[in-house]
Structure 1
Amino acid sequence: MKKRIVIIDGNSLINRAYYAMQKPMITKEGIYTQGIFGFLNMLNRILDDYDPDYMAVAWDMRAPTFRHEAYKEYKAGRKKMPAELAMELEPMKEILTAMHIPNLELEGYEADDIIGTLARRGEEEGLDPLIITGDKDALQLCTHKTQVLITRRGISEFDLFDYDKMLERYEVTPEQFIDLKGLMGDSSDNIPGIPGVGEKTGIKLLKQFGSVAELLAHTDEISNARLRAKVEENAQLAAMSRKLAEINTHVPLDIEIESLRRKEPDYEKLVELYTKLEFNRFLRQLNAGGAGNVLTETVSDDTEYEKHRIGSPEDLKLLEALPEGSEILLRVFGNNDHVETPVIQGVSLICGNQSFFVTMEGQTEGRLIEILNRGNFRYAGHDLIADYYMLMSLGLRNPVTAFDSAVAEYVLDPGRSNYDLKTLSFEYLHTEIQSEKEFREANGQMDLLGQDREAMEEYGAQWCRNVKLLRRLQEEKISANGQEKLCLEIEFPLIAVLADMEVEGVSVDRGTLEEIGGSLSGEVDGIEAQIHELCGEKFNVNSPAQLGPILFEKLGLPAGKKTKRGYSTSAEVLEKIRDKHPVVPLILQYRTLTKLNSTYVEGIRPLIGSDGRIHAHFQQTVAATGRLSCTEPNLQNIPVRYEMGRQLRRAFVAGENELLIGADYSQIELRIMAHLSGDENLISAFNNGDDIHRMTAARVFELDYDKVTPLDRSRAKAVNFGVIYGMSSFGLSENLHISRREAERYIQEYFQKHRAVKEYLDSQVAYCREHGYTLTMFGRRRYINEIGSSNYMTRQLGERLAMNSPIQGTAADIIKIAMNRVCRELTERGMKSRLVLQIHDELIICAAEDEVEAVKELLRRNMEGAAELSVELSCDMNTGRSWYDLKN
């Protein structure tokens, strides 16, 4: 059986991989990796599919080659390699070296020449060469032995060529393909060819004459006079172009083919490189492959645990004996049900060298809760909000968080896509642990019988041990970043606050919800009838395939680019033509009301528990800015710009003998900007109680304060918030429906009057550019990789994020501090009132009627005293029977 040598065009593949990725991949250290990631995916596929005996990767060098000496304009005008991709070349070569795959390059020659030489020498030594590239120039190297695999689409599809496939596809031999390139040229390499001669004409000429040399010797035989003249006029150009296109297969490579034989990789080095580049997938492949277990824990737990399985109230005496205030590692197994009371199957706990597994059977459940409440324990775990929610639903009171590895990682890296223990264990500890989904799939429905209980016990203990090990490493990073107070005083205490909000829930008036649903359905039907009337026919308004042709063909409205799927009817497209036809705003309104009905009426019904409450999920580790998010349902996202959206809030009500109290920070982000920038005009305006938007209008538009109109104030408000979000003149012009020149004048006037604000925003961009992240007042970091992009639009986005993140993040920190303080005081004073909702800058408390005044006072005091700023924090406060009443 013949042996195979695989020769890879390194530059071609890493370029393809880089541009095939939909979005940048960047490590915490700011290393771009998407090109390397895609290259390795292709390489692994090649190794699996072809199992080569010999391998090498050829690379271009920056130095000029013999082709540049022959033609100075060779490759002139080619787009320069992005800086982000250039930084990936050396790490890629390091990985190949660790794999014992040689990197080959030679000054004065291109990678193609090295590839051609290796293919020729491989054939001479009895090997079957396979060339992997995205460059069709390599097709000239096809023989009856040498194959060329061309990457066709991104990094996932390939075309395989050999001698016969070349004849079939191009109707010329591989050697004639060089002549074809000489005739038609190559714009990517700036090879001129003969002007006006394309692939079809070139193939036709080669079929007649066989080669460029023969063509030039017999130009009188070209029947087409115009073509004959072109060939004769550009004869030297054609000859030179063919010479430039020909790959040199006799490069003086000082290397023996035998040195390219596949060897066992240096796994230790690969682990080091993959860890640095955060390639968890490839680390797992090393473990799963034939290399054995090449990964070891970066820290180890040498504790010998005393294991206790607790299945009865009597056994719980072991837990009772734990010292009060002990720190406990916790993992709760249950269904985390937010509609009915959650069912807990078992609880894993580790305290010191004792490991407990409690099965929640009979009276064990209530007794366990009693012990936990009496013990005043401090808890460590991973994503503790779910554990707290389940235990608090059964009566656990005021748990204190010592550490949470999910929240800790969120503080360290708020931009990552997930914080599951499996991923963090692999990244930090180089150990495998099943995700909860994998564990449940492997062990079926846990019924706590036989091996199922044993599996749960072992899994829970492993979970707790991994949290213990993670904590050591994460705390080192948190300390190095100066983020201890952010964790200990803001984020960790908030976990129990959020769990308590989930347990408390908010009451829903089903009758009001049904009434609103009926109104929405009626309004949707009415708008649909108007749309059909305006369009002159009935159709499915929800179908872009039906809506597009009606809007852009029948009604003749200006359309965006038509794709294979048809016209885009996205909100962005429709907003741009809103004023072109009366049907467009109706369609937008129809969509809004339809979504309201499906999401907030039909979607909420099944989420109402038997207690008549919605127990939403509050998520602490989602938004990179530090803001909280809410799901099932997303109560933070009810579109209140529309009256029907505002009406939905009528369905969320206080209970019997209760009132809702809402406290909303007034213009908190503008106040934070005033403080951070030190702008004296803004600071004095806020502290004097001035209308900040009216004041901005007076200053920017040069008007008397008393003569500012509502329109002036509205525009000034857009400018104020536009500045915070780094809005461009284009964005402001779109927002205010004014000319770009006028919007630019507004922004310039604003910065003229508020120079301190401009200096502050510029300083944040500069800081982010230097360090790669922004900081809030409380030390929260947000890593912004876009700031260093070579792409202008991406870099602009990075600059806007750098301006806004410290402001928005500080606002998020302040509301969290307020939540912690409010809940702590409610608890310490033994009040019946409870915090039930947080909607961005607003806190809502469901207060007992006899506690309303006291709650209002403590709410205002704790919110307005949450941070010491050079401007006063101010709250707008309202009370009512429903959420709607708080805003109307």
Structure 2
Amino acid sequence: MSHFVLIDGNSIANRAFYALPLLSTSQGLHTNAVLGFTTMLLKVIEEMKPTHILVAFDAGKVVFRHSEYTEYKGKRAKTPPELSEQFPLIRELLDAFAIKRYEMEGYEADDIIGTLTLRADDEKIKTTVITGDKDMLQLVSENVSTALTRKGVSEIDLYTADEIMEKYGLSPLQIIDLKGLMGDTSDNIPGVPGVGEKTAMKLLHQYHSVEEVLAHIDEVSGKKLQENLRNNVEQAKMSKSLATILRDAPVDLQVNEVTYEGYNADQLVEFFKKMEFKSLLSKVKGASNTADSYGQGAMEDAVEGETESESKPFQYVLINEENKNEHTDKLSSPMSMYVEMDGENYHYAPVLGFGLASADYVLYVPFDVAMNWPAFTEWLADEKQHKMVFDAKKEIVGLSWHDMKLEGITFDLFLASYLINASESNPTLAGATARLADIQVANDDDVYGKGAKRALPALEMLSEHVARKALAIWQSVPKAKDELEENHLTDLFNKMEEPLSLVLAEMEKIGVKVDTAQLNDMGVELDKQLEELTAKIYDQAGIEFNINSPKQLGEVLFEKMGIPPEKKTKTGYSTSADVLEKLQHKYPIVIDILHFRQLGKLRSTYIEGLLKEIHGKTGKVHTRFNQATTATGRLSSTDPNLQNIPIRLEEGRKIRKAFVPSNEGCYILAADYSQIELRILAHISKDKNLIEAFINDMDIHSKTAMDVFGVEKEEVTSLMRRQAKAVNFGIVYGISDFGLSQNLNISRKDAGDFISRYFEVFSGVQNYMEEIKKQAKKDGYVTTLLHRRRYLPDIASKNFNLRSFAERTAMNTPIQGTAADIIKLAMIQMQKTLEEKQLKSRMLLQVHDELVFEVPEEELEIMKELVADVMEHALELDVPLKVDVNYGRSWYDAK
């Protein structure tokens, strides 16, 4: 699961500076802010495990808010020089951590963070903002939390919407209104004289917003308070505007550009030495034992290569056309192997070479040599020649594009590392072997360079780098096997994850045919709809304008048409999705604008995007299935991401029309598990009412509505069923009364009553939730039915927010993880059955709880029964698994 961490650089640096005594190096360099910032970063990386991270800074003292109020932040004391001199060091620190930083003239760090949190929120990415500024609480949403530092920066309090409501009795957006009324002395926001936090909260509890308070001044108790409000109407409005964080700043950075793959250990050690942070040196994982540069002195002669590394020489043999036959006898079994490719997407990446290692020697075979060495290609394809690798699927598929066959894989260190620590998404070889091997492996970025500076290294450096990888795998495998055994994960590894990787490799190689003509026709149709919507919007607005321009759109809606704006900043009116969605029920033009945006995204992301992904050799898309990404074990896909096609929108569903069979006379068959997570919940919780409902094949949502509302089947209304459905699926994710109230647009009290009645009826579910939390606190982890393990380091945390999240994870993981395991078992069994029965049908895709096949017409009746049978019996539960099977001439028609 992705986790985006955004850090308010100036806020954290300031708090660290004032929290720690004034420290300096022997050269007189002040370092207390740097030290505080460093300890915070180490803690964030260790505990939050971000997949994406960015530090935002203020670019200067003058920002757009000064044009609205020249005295904004006017009373702040001048930054002490002892702190100013540390900001360049903090930037150097971030470079050593390989963490991206960003600042923008005329805007504050808050606005950068506000804009990026909204973008992440739109993509449903879990996001945490780390700051010392309570203003950031306004950014909190279902996917965004704010972590406020305390005790300097050594501890944090994590705020979700529930915690904000619990502490202030306010929603996140009302934090802006709070500042508008009470002001903020640190930013010199005036607010209303005489209104402090207590009075402001009382007013907001009654009237909800600054505007509503000002509209009801005559009803406010207290003549003095009435007078202050009446005399400061414009000042209150301005204060609210100043306190509003911009959510649509022109930030030319996307979430996917700040992925975090770990720090450069050696660079960080050098920085710590410069800062004289001796106590932190031991906390850096994976640093060299010496200061030797990586790859120095590699391969002086063309045959034997030696470099000084660690405590003993590293030796390997570089194979070339002249010496290859002399080393044929070294191609033995077992060996470890690493296939080096130039690029992340192995469907396109060139193969550079092969690293091989055994107990006695290490080899590097360049690709051009390997292709012309029959002894090597025969060894590679021989299933009796056992090979230990890192990411078997990547190597099998990557080599297949070069007509090279890889067989005989007996251990995949990539999958073993993932199972041992599932919270570490997509483990790298350098990271996985740092703990297990005696030899050090550099991160690829240190060898190839980053971004525009990326380039293929010289043969000497490349050959040593890949040879080290092979030896690190060899050294790591025995320890990894021991850890799998100790954690009772050996069966899961041997019987599920490794066999599944071979199934996924076959699916990726097959690919899915995409009808380009159909896609182009859809593009034309979308263009037509966009033109019609554009004309309709212009007609309603009475003016032509750029609908994609937030500035022009805001002016049309909120000035020309007079629609009351939700939010306004100095740069213009906010026209973000959350703002427009609140207005769509009153204003038809807003409905059309939202539809315009949806169709525009479909056009660019899914029509143009899919066309770009069609492979030149096959005319198909070859998605990459990510097997080691999620902590629950669920698969995901990339390039293209087939799980994000917006099928709730009819135009989005139609995109599936372009996914068609590769061969004439074939059908697309789709098989989907029905309510699999609720069925697993029934099995795990042993709840009699749930089990009875599924055994009797009842509509579970109607059954829940009957039991909770105490009505007969014919009395269940569509509203009752909808509410019951929200609770059924919400319970699996540990939904709170607040969360349910937001989903159903009911009061928090009514939502709480609904959940209480649910647990009265389904007491087994409540017992399960309590017991699983107790067990998680005792063991420190939870498992699926097939023993997949997820560790929960925060389950006993004293911090309420961290503990609550861990408890919700404990309740959900056994259910969601078991669902993931079941479909994996079904895929393995399905592939085995297809081969045993010598059927021509082929498995193409796995998306959520669905499997997609290409089926010849003559096998259609067989496959309809066979797929359902295999999937429904993948794992026997106390309740039956149910699979819906449909087919058609396209993926769309098969639903």
Normalised-by-shorter TM-score class: 0.5 to 0.7
Q: Work out the CA distance in 2 between the residues paired with 1:880 and 1:672.
A: 30
Can you list the C-alpha shifts for 1:706-729, whole angstroms capped at 9, x where unaligned? 443444333322221111122223
Corresponding residue number in structure 1 for 2:626? 619
Amino acid at match of 2:886: N
Amino acid at match of 1:700: V
Amino acid at match of 1:423: G
Can you list the C-alpha shifts for 1:829-880, whole angstroms capped at 9, x where unaligned? 4443322111011111223444434444443333222222111112111222
Corresponding residue number in structure 2 for 1:640? 647
> How many residues were matched structurally?
664
Residue 820 (structure 1) aligned with residue 828 (structure 2): yes
Residue 775 (structure 1) aligned with residue 783 (structure 2): yes
The 1:382/1:570 distance shift into structure 2, 3 A limit, reads farther
Corresponding residue number in structure 2 for 1:541? 547
Can you list the C-alpha shifts for 1:274-315, whole angstroms capped at 9, x where unaligned? 55x5x449x5799589xxxxxxxxx99999988472649984
Question: How far is the alpha carbon of 1:504 from its aligned partner?
Answer: 0.9
- Is 1:339–1:607's contact at 8 Å kept on the other side of the alignment? no
Residue 345 (structure 1) aligned with residue 321 (structure 2): no
Amino acid at match of 1:646: R
Question: How far is the alpha carbon of 1:273 from its aligned partner?
Answer: 6.5
Of residues 382, 387, 392, the one that matches 1:384 is 392
- Is 1:342–1:393's contact at 8 Å kept on the other side of the alignment? no
Question: How far is the alpha carbon of 1:884 from its aligned partner?
Answer: 0.6
**TM-score, normalised via structure 1 length:** 0.65
Residue 694 (structure 1) aligned with residue 670 (structure 2): no
Q: Work out the CA distance in 2 between the residues paired with 1:445 and 1:55.
A: 35
Question: How far is the alpha carbon of 1:400 from its aligned partner?
Answer: 5.4
> SS of the residue aligned with 2:631?
coil
Residue 51 (structure 1) aligned with residue 37 (structure 2): no
Question: How far is the alpha carbon of 1:704 from its aligned partner?
Answer: 1.2
Corresponding residue number in structure 2 for 1:608? 614
Amino acid at match of 1:645: G
- Is 2:22–2:32's contact at 8 Å kept on the other side of the alignment? no
Residue 669 (structure 1) aligned with residue 669 (structure 2): no
Of residues 304, 325, 336, the one that matches 1:329 is 336
Corresponding residue number in structure 2 for 1:833? 841
Residue 650 (structure 1) aligned with residue 657 (structure 2): yes
> SS of the residue aligned with 1:876?
strand
Residue 477 (structure 1) aligned with residue 462 (structure 2): no
Matches within 5 A, 1:400-439: 401-416=409-424, 419-426=427-434, 428-429=436-437, 432-439=440-447
Corresponding residue number in structure 1 for 2:494? 488
Of residues 850, 853, 870, the one that matches 1:862 is 870
Corresponding residue number in structure 2 for 1:628? 635
Task: Single out whichever of 39-48 and 560-569 deviates more from structure 2.
Answer: 39-48
Of residues 309, 319, 331, the one that matches 2:319 is 309
Task: Single out whichever of 343-352 and 620-629 deviates more from structure 2.
Answer: 343-352
Q: Work out the CA distance in 1 between the residues paired with 2:88 and 2:799.
A: 20
- Is 2:324–2:373's contact at 8 Å kept on the other side of the alignment? no
Of residues 753, 773, 780, the one that matches 1:745 is 753
Provide structure 2 residue ranges, at least 5 long, that are not aligned to the other structure.
47-74, 93-150, 153-184, 187-270, 294-308
The 1:726/1:152 distance shift into structure 2, 3 A limit, reads farther
- Is 1:310–1:357's contact at 8 Å kept on the other side of the alignment? no
Q: Work out the CA distance in 2 between the residues paired with 1:53 and 1:340.
A: 50
Q: Work out the CA distance in 2 between the residues paired with 1:522 and 1:714.
A: 35
Q: Work out the CA distance in 1 between the residues paired with 2:601 and 2:672.
A: 26
Q: Work out the CA distance in 2 between the residues paired with 1:613 and 1:717.
A: 38
Amino acid at match of 2:654: Q
Q: Work out the CA distance in 1 between the residues paired with 2:770 and 2:707.
A: 22
Amino acid at match of 1:821: Q
The 1:274/1:672 distance shift into structure 2, 3 A limit, reads farther
Q: Work out the CA distance in 2 between the residues paired with 1:56 and 1:321.
A: 56
The 1:475/1:567 distance shift into structure 2, 3 A limit, reads farther
Can you list the C-alpha shifts for 1:621-645, whole angstroms capped at 9, x where unaligned? 2222221111111111100011111
Question: How far is the alpha carbon of 1:602 from its aligned partner?
Answer: 0.7
> SS of the residue aligned with 1:603?
helix
Question: How far is the alpha carbon of 1:779 from its aligned partner?
Answer: 2.3
> SS of the residue aligned with 2:615?
coil
Q: Work out the CA distance in 1 between the residues paired with 2:272 and 2:352.
A: 45
Q: Work out the CA distance in 1 between the residues paired with 2:559 and 2:822.
A: 52
Question: How far is the alpha carbon of 1:370 from its aligned partner?
Answer: 4.4
Can you list the C-alpha shifts for 1:716-755, whole angstroms capped at 9, x where unaligned? 2222111112222332233233343433332222111101
Corresponding residue number in structure 1 for 2:536? 530
Amino acid at match of 1:836: L
Question: How far is the alpha carbon of 1:815 from its aligned partner?
Answer: 1.3
- Is 1:673–1:807's contact at 8 Å kept on the other side of the alignment? yes
The 1:395/1:844 distance shift into structure 2, 3 A limit, reads farther
Amino acid at match of 2:635: L
**TM-score, normalised via structure 2 length:** 0.64
> SS of the residue aligned with 2:337?
strand
Corresponding residue number in structure 2 for 1:358? 365
Can you list the C-alpha shifts for 1:181-240, whole angstroms capped at 9, x where unaligned? xxxxxxx99xxxxxxxx99xxxxxxxxxxxxxxxxxxxxxxxxxxxxxxxxxxxxxxxxx
The 1:781/1:51 distance shift into structure 2, 3 A limit, reads farther
Q: Work out the CA distance in 1 between the residues paired with 2:13 and 2:387.
A: 41
Task: Flag the structure with larger Rg.
Answer: 1
> SS of the residue aligned with 1:573?
helix
Amino acid at match of 1:478: L
Task: Single out whichever of 459-468 and 763-772 deviates more from structure 2.
Answer: 763-772
Identity of aligned residues (%): 35
Q: Work out the CA distance in 2 between the residues paired with 1:544 and 1:715.
A: 36
Corresponding residue number in structure 2 for 1:247? none
> SS of the residue aligned with 1:765?
helix
Of residues 594, 602, 607, the one that matches 2:600 is 594
Corresponding residue number in structure 2 for 1:682? 690
Q: Work out the CA distance in 2 between the residues paired with 1:541 and 1:789.
A: 48
The 1:833/1:529 distance shift into structure 2, 3 A limit, reads same
Amino acid at match of 1:309: I
Question: How far is the alpha carbon of 1:397 from its aligned partner?
Answer: 5.9
Can you list the C-alpha shifts for 1:36-58, whole angstroms capped at 9, x where unaligned? 9996999999767x72399999x
Matches within 5 A, 1:784-863: 784=792, 787=795, 795-863=803-871
Question: How far is the alpha carbon of 1:802 from its aligned partner?
Answer: 2.8
Question: How far is the alpha carbon of 1:672 from its aligned partner?
Answer: 0.6
Q: Work out the CA distance in 2 between the residues paired with 1:403 and 1:562.
A: 58
Amino acid at match of 2:627: Q
Question: How far is the alpha carbon of 1:266 from its aligned partner?
Answer: 11
Question: How far is the alpha carbon of 1:821 from its aligned partner?
Answer: 2.0
- Is 2:23–2:32's contact at 8 Å kept on the other side of the alignment? no
Of residues 725, 735, 743, the one that matches 1:735 is 743
Provide structure 1 residue ranges, at least 5 long, that are not aligned to the other structure.
1-20, 25-33, 60-83, 92-135, 159-187, 190-197, 200-263, 290-298
Matches within 5 A, 1:90-169: 149=83
Residue 466 (structure 1) aligned with residue 493 (structure 2): no
Q: Work out the CA distance in 1 between the residues paired with 2:690 and 2:592.
A: 41
Question: How far is the alpha carbon of 1:516 from its aligned partner?
Answer: 0.7
Residue 500 (structure 1) aligned with residue 506 (structure 2): yes
Corresponding residue number in structure 1 for 2:586? 580
Q: Work out the CA distance in 1 between the residues paired with 2:436 and 2:77.
A: 43
Can you list the C-alpha shifts for 1:35-82, whole angstroms capped at 9, x where unaligned? 99996999999767x72399999x9xxxxxxxxxxxxxxxxxxxxxxx
